[in-house]
Structures are given as C-alpha cells and as structure tokens.
Amino acid sequence: MRIEENRVFDEIAVGDTAEVRRICTEDDFYVFATASGNHNPMHLARHDGDGDGQEEAVAPALWVGSLISAVIGNILPGAGTLYRAQNFNFHKRAHVGDELIARVTVTEKRPPDCLVMATEVTRKSDDAVIVSGEAHVQTPRRKMVFENLEVPGLLVERHRHFDALIERAEPLAPLPTAVVAPEEPKSLGGALLGGQHTIISPILVGDTAKIVAAAKEIGASLDGVEIIEEPDHLKAANIAVDLVASGRALALMKGHLHTDLLLKAALRKDNGLRAGRRFTHVFVMDVPGVPHPLLVTDAAINIAPDLRTKMDICQNAIDLARSIGIDDPKVGVLSAVETVNPDIPSSLDAALLSKMAERGQITGGQVDGPLAMDNAVDLGAARTKGIKSQVAGRAEVLVVPNLDAGNMLAKQLAYISHAEGAGVVMGAKVPIILNSRSDDDKARLASCAVAALHNARITGQLPVSQAAE
C-alpha cells in the first residue's frame, strides 16, 4: 500500500476533507475479534448472537470507528499524525457486505500543531450515518512520503469451503451410512455429528461395549442409533458391505480400524463394491487463503500407481470435483518439472494423461501436465515459466506421482498451511468415507458432506425441500 504524502500544520486549511472506502467482510470481523479479544458472537458470521434465529454478522462498532483512523493516518494529515482524543456516537449498524465511507473534515486549527476534525462513517447504499464524532490530532512535525510500505499479511484460518459444502449437504435426505468400528471418541463423534446435521444416517457396526463407552466419554447419546454387534473388525467390515449390497446403506465410513481391513471387505469378489475402476483416495482440502477447495490424489491407497491406475485416479477426482460444485475441474498432474524429461517417469505419465484427456479417454474436466507444484497453483509462476494452459496456475485437482508425494503434500497442507482435509475413496459402487485418525470434527463432518453430495449427484437426488415440493 502507498501512503500519500503527508501534510504538516501550515499546509492544512479549515474545510479540508478526505475519505476512504471499505467493504465489510467476515474476515475483517474475525481479525478484529482476534486482535481485540472481543468474541461477541453478534459480530461473527454463522452465529446467532442474540437467539433470534438469525445469523447477525454485525460490524463491531469500534471496528467501524477504526476506519476513521485509516483516513487520518494515511491521508489527512497522514504519516506522523498522533491522536489526542476521539469521541464516537453510534447511530446505525453495519453488516457484512456493506460498503462504508469514512470521512474526516477539518473544523478548527489550534496552533502550534493541533487539528479538530469532524469524523463520520456512512453507508454508501443509503447514505445512512453509522458513526459520527470528533477527533483531536497532533499533526506531523515534518514532511514525509512512504511508498510501498509493507505490512505483514494476515490469513484468517477459517474453512469457508467446508462450511459451504456442509450447508449444501444438509438439505439432502440423510445418507444411510454403515460406520465400521466407531469404537473411540473421534470416529464415533464424527459419525454422530454427521447424523446431528442430517447429512448421514449412521448404522454403527462394531463392539457395542466400546461404542457405548466412547459415547459416554464424549457425552453423546446413542438414542435412536442402530448398533450391530460385531467385535471382530474384518467381520464388522463385511457386515457393513453386506448392508450396502442389500441396499440398506448407501455409503461406508471408516471408524477405528485399519484401512486395509475395510478395503479388503469392500474389494471382495462376492457382493463387493467394485465398480470397474481402481479404488482411489481423494483428499478434499480446505486451505485458508485458497479461493476454492483443493483436491489431492492419491495419498492413501495406491502406492506406486502405473499409467492405467493414474487414469482412474484422474477420472475419479474429476467426478468428485464435479459433485462438490466444480463444474469444469482443472487437473494438474504433478512432477518435479514442467517439461517432459525421459529420465523422470512422472513427467512422462503426466504428458500421457494430458494427451489422453485431450483425446476423450478422461472426461469431464481439463487435464494438463507435467506441472511442478508452483506453476500448477500459482498463475504468476506459470507465466514466469511461459506455460500457456487453462490449468497451469489454476489447478483445483492435484494428481501426485505416488503415495509418498501425496501423503507429504496433504500433511504439509494440514500441518503447515493449516488446511482441513476431507477423505473419500472413489471408484466403488458407493462413496467410502475415509478419515485420518487425527482428523477433527470439522474434517469428519466435511467428509460426510462430500460423500452425500457425490451420492446426490450420481443418483439425481433433490434436496429435501425441493423433493417435498
């Protein structure tokens, strides 16, 4: 940001005025809550702060008032100004989405260096005065100009993409889901939370005593929840697959058991869940600061996939991306380089997958590769390398060379970039919800939402409200 040249006392006249404009955003209010310690839910999006059934997101009054300081500190008088006094009268409330105009007008000069200024913040849409008041400031002592003053950027760790997916899934009819061995607090809590949000209808298969103990530990009720007793994990997984085969369940969910046991049951020859493609895992990542969900695949099942498997990995990811609302998924096939190098097998596979998509062997999205990580997700990096592509710099799906790379990427996003990850296995007859043991409630709930949205798209299901009409 460039701060304008400041003005000293002798350069300022009564009647001089300046203003700034600012659109209120949810993130502004979260930043204010963090900086001030004021966590009043009236100011936080997606919270009903006064119990009236409505989510308020009212702009904090002192946040609105602080916009006046932006005019004084940046423009009139500008750099070097110090406050002596400021009063506020609050007339109306601003909300998320309002465009506000903060304005100051010099009303009096008091030598040697004091200004009295009328201050106000108005709403552009209706000229309503939100805040009025008066400021007394000490003018700068010397002329200064600051160009390109750098202020550290702030990133709000809020998972808006998962919030949106959950909101989209809640109106759907609950997805009957066989949950295998939810015998500890996190796996049971995630399944029950999905039920509370009416995203899934859980059928619990496992050791009843352990399930009851886990429910007691988290203070959850099991009233109305079906429990099928089977302490052996492989047998429990087979029972869950039987529930799908009979039509009682339309999804599987991993509880507290090894992934290979769940997949062994799903891949069995008799009444298994094979559907013609390889089973592949997709992490749907909500990365703070990234304007869309980021899908990473395969980071959990296929260790060293060959070209045929990578073809299924791409197609499964495209199908899931479309289910969560990405109409024309852009798939970046990753390698260490962005040009084909015969000595780097992943670059050869990436180029072949790109050509296969071009020839219609992979459908529903755009596929390009090889792409290095930087030029897959950053448009500036792609342009610097001279890459001309609709995918480069805009990738929504990242196809990794192998499980090692995928696991490292997903965990880097989670533990360094503060992302949340929803895990789903694709390629089966029904979605398989597959979370990490360390995942929190938001990740598990989002995984349920992703599975429900995918099922809704492939079955043509309408939201409950539309179906009723």
CB 428 within 8 A of CB 274: yes
pLDDT of residue 406: 96
Position 144 confidence tier, pLDDT thresholds 50, 70, 90: confident
The residues of the chain that CATH labels 3.10.129.10 are 9-138
pLDDT of residue 96: 87
Position 175 confidence tier, pLDDT thresholds 50, 70, 90: very high
In total, the chain counts a number of residues equal to: 469
> For 205-220, how does the pLDDT look when each residue is reduced to its tens digit (9 = 90+)?
999 999 999 999 999 9
Higher pLDDT, residue 252 or 288: 252
Mean pLDDT rounded to a whole number for the chain: 92
Q: Is the pLDDT of residue 127 over 90?
A: yes
pLDDT of residue 463: 64
How far apart are the C-alpha atoms of 237 and 239, rounded to whole Å? 5
Mean pLDDT of 7-17: 96
Strand arrangement, sheet containing 17-23:
17-23, 99-110, 114-123, 129-138, 82-90
Percent of the chain with pLDDT over 70: 95
Class of domain 9-138: alpha beta
Q: Is the pLDDT of residue 171 over 90?
A: yes
pLDDT of residue 388: 87
Give the 3-state secondary structure of residue 2. Answer: coil
pLDDT of residue 465: 46
The residues of the chain that CATH labels 3.40.718.10 are 276-427
How far apart are the C-alpha atoms of 263 and 66, rounded to whole Å? 56
> For 420-432, how does the pLDDT look when each residue is reduced to its tens digit (9 = 90+)?
999 999 999 999 9
> For 457-467, how does the pLDDT look when each residue is reduced to its tens digit (9 = 90+)?
999 886 654 44
> For 251-262, how does the pLDDT look when each residue is reduced to its tens digit (9 = 90+)?
999 999 999 999
CB 223 within 8 A of CB 192: no
> For 81-109, how does the pLDDT look when each residue is reduced to its tens digit (9 = 90+)?
999 999 999 999 999 889 999 999 999 99
How far apart are the C-alpha atoms of 217 and 142, rounded to whole Å? 65
pLDDT of residue 156: 65
Nearest partner of 207 among 233, 225, 244, 187, judged by Cα: 233
Beta strand 330-334 with 397-399: parallel, antiparallel or unpaired?
A: parallel
Q: Is the pLDDT of residue 468 over 50?
A: no
* The dihedral sign for the CA sequence 134, 137, 143, 146: negative
CB 81 within 8 A of CB 140: yes
Instruction: Report how far Cα 205 is from the mean position of its chain's Cα atoms.
Output: 31
Q: Which CATH superfamily is domain 276-427 in?
A: Isopropylmalate Dehydrogenase (3.40.718.10)
